Amino acid sequence: MTHKSLEICYDFPFFLQEELDEIFQAHEKKSFQKGDFILEEGKMANEYYILDSGLARSFVNDFNGNEVTTHFFVENEVIIEVSSMFQRIPTQENIVCITDCECWKLDYDTFQELFHKIPNLREWGRAWMSKELFDYKQRSVEMFTLSATRRYLNLLEQKSKVIQFAPLKQIASYLGVTDTSLSRIRKELVSHPKKI
């Protein structure tokens, strides 16, 4: 693993090189296999990860016990359950590897230490959190304002690896449609690509 994913993730104009070096050195390499849980419901998040390679997802179990995918994590993204990590409460979400994953891990205590020591890390954190809030808001609005086909195409455009490696059922639950509807959307796109 190189530091490329760290460089992409911590791309913030105000960091000094020595600050980045210290932040990078605080991360530890960690490998997961397909099917491994990074975080399980009921446990507390004591670290976050930066995904160097692979694909992971977060999901919750609905009131009927069905898995509903809440997020897909692709390379160079932060794998985190923010509420659990920063409010120090057990999580309601599960985070699991769809493929083998190589990550950089930063534990909570080390993050807190760096956060108080490096003001630019605080600024980076605020910028990252703002972007995440915007993305989640955007996704919430799109669930009501865009057709299922358009939502599928957006996912294909933004995170093509999900379409490649995630099972149909997981993609369907993320898009808020049934497996059957998603199969139909895929068939229509193949047979009538010009219509979209």
User: Which residues lie across from 94 on neighbouring strands?
Assistant: 59
Q: What is the mean pLDDT of the chain?
A: 94
Q: Residue 191 — very low, low, confident or very high, per pLDDT cuts 50/70/90?
A: confident
User: Does the residue 172 lie in any domain?
Assistant: no
- At residue 20, the pLDDT reads 96
User: Does the residue 69 lie in any domain?
Assistant: yes
Tokens 């865009």 correspond to: 146
- At residue 190, the pLDDT reads 84
**Burial (0-12, 13-18, 19+ Cβ within 10 Å), 133:** exposed
- At residue 194, the pLDDT reads 59
User: Does the residue 175 lie in any domain?
Assistant: no
Count structural domains, the chain: 1
Q: The domain spanning residue 14 has which CATH number? A: 2.60.120.10
In which element (H, E) is residue 30 found? strand 28-32
User: Does the residue 111 lie in any domain?
Assistant: yes
User: Does the residue 187 lie in any domain?
Assistant: no
User: Does the residue 12 lie in any domain?
Assistant: yes
Full residue range of the structural domain in which residue 28 is found? 3-118
- At residue 195, the pLDDT reads 53
Mean pLDDT across 112-116: 96
18, 29, 102, 136, 158 from 1: Cα distances, Å: 21, 8, 8, 29, 24
In which element (H, E) is residue 150 found? helix 148-158
User: Does the residue 31 lie in any domain?
Assistant: yes
Mean pLDDT across 77-86: 95
Mean pLDDT across 108-122: 96
* Pair 50, 6: CB distance under 8 Å: yes
- At residue 3, the pLDDT reads 85
**Burial (0-12, 13-18, 19+ Cβ within 10 Å), 175:** buried
Local structure of 192: helix, strand or coil: coil
- At residue 107, the pLDDT reads 96
